[in-house]
């Protein structure tokens, strides 16, 4: 009998995905504000990004990544279609703000990634964003 086990990060329904989160000593509304305004916005989009993050908003970064806001529950969750430059396919990014007692967890869940290599790239990408949040909060 042969069994095949899916590698870590590969699902049967949403392709490759990555989920990464970290808890910070801030209020949920502060986390939301931090994520969607400069200077932190430059760490995950670019330093020119300035949009209201409402359903239907589209933005293309200086590096060619295009995002389209699919849905928003202000202060809680946003879903974004994420398109790498030159790629006709999109992936889906979900950013959640989760109250955790006197702290707040910021969660990035990125699904419909093409392969294990893209999963690893996005894992590193979102880890760097969480590191930058830590840096800005401790500055």
Find out whether 61 and 69 touch, Cβ atoms under 8 Å: no
CA atoms within 13 A on the CB side of 129: 26
Largest CA distance in the chain: 57
The sign of the torsion formed by the CA atoms of 50, 132, 32, 20 equals positive
φ/ψ of 112, rounded to 5, equals: 65, 30
pLDDT, mean of residues 95-112: 96
Percent of the chain at pLDDT exceeding 70: 92
Domain ranges of the chain: 18-138
pLDDT tens string 5-27: 677 767 766 689 999 999 999 99
Is residue 119 packed enough to be buried (19+ CB in 10 Å), middle (13-18) or exposed (0-12)? buried
Q: What is the mean pLDDT of residues 81-98?
A: 96
Fold of the domain spanning 18-138:
Alpha-D-Glucose-1,6-Bisphosphate; Chain A, domain 4 (3.30.530)
- Please tell me the pTM assigned to this model: 0.90
Q: What is the DSSP string of 40-87?
A: THHHHS-TT------TT-EEE-TTS-EEEEEEEETTTEEEEEEE-TT-
Spatial distance between the Cα atoms of 27 and 44, rounded to a whole number of angstroms: 21
Give the span between the Cα atoms of 81 and 66, in whole angstroms: 8
């Amino acid at each position: 009998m042969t069994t095949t086990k899916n590698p870590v990060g590969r699902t049967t329904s949403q392709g490759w995905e990555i989920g990464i989160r970290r808890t910070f000593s801030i209020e949920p509304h502060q986390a939301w504000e931090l994520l969607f305004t400069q200077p932190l916005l430059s760490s995950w989009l670019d330093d020119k990004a300035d949009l209201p993050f409402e359903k239907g908003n589209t933005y293309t970064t200086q590096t060619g990544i295009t995002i389209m806001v699919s849905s928003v529950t202000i202060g809680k969750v946003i879903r974004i279609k994420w398109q790498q430059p030159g790629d006709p396919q999109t992936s889906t990014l979900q950013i959640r703000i989760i109250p955790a007692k006197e702290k707040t967890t910021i969660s990035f869940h990125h699904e419909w990634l093409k392969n294990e290599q893209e999963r690893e790239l996005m894992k590193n990408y979102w880890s760097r964003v969480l590191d930058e949040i830590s840096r800005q909060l401790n500055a």
